[in-house]
Chains A and B, each alone.
Chain A
Amino acid sequence: MAFAMSAARAEVLRRIRDALGDERAPAPPPAPAAAAAAPRVADPVARFTQRVGDYRAGVTVVEDASEVGAAVAAALTRHAAADAVVPADLPAGWVPTGIAALADDPPLPHARLAQVGAVVTACALAIAETGTLILDGGVGQGRRAITLLPDVHVCVVGADQIVGTVPEAIARLAGTPRPLTLVSGPSATSDIGFVRVEGVHGPRRLEVVVSRRA
Chain B
Amino acid sequence: MSFINPLSDEGKQIVREDGGDLDRIFDENDDIIDAVNSITAQEISDDAYIPKSYVDLVIKRVEWYVDKKSDPKYNHKKYAFLFYPEIAKFDVIAFYILCQAIGIKYGPNSRESRAVSELQGQIIENRLEELYERDRLEIVDKIMNILIVQDRIKWTSLADLLSSKKINLQDLVLKDGNVILDREDFMEYFKDVVKLQQPERMYNVFIGNRIKELIMIKMIMQNTENYIKNVHEIAGREVEPNATLLKIAEEVADALSKEIRYYGGGDSGGEVKASPLNIEKFPPCIRKSLDGIKSGGRNEVIVLFLTPFLSYARLYPSVFSRNTTLKVSDVDADLKITQNEILPMIYDAADRCSPPLFDDQPQEKININAKLGFGMNDNLNLQHEGETTWYTPMSCEKVKLNMPNLCRPDKTCKGITNPLSYYNRKMREK
Do A and B interact with each other, yes or no?
A: no
Please give the residue numbers on chain A whose beta carbons come within 8 Å of chain B beta carbons, in ascending order: none
Q: B-side interface residues toward A, CB under 8 Å?
A: none
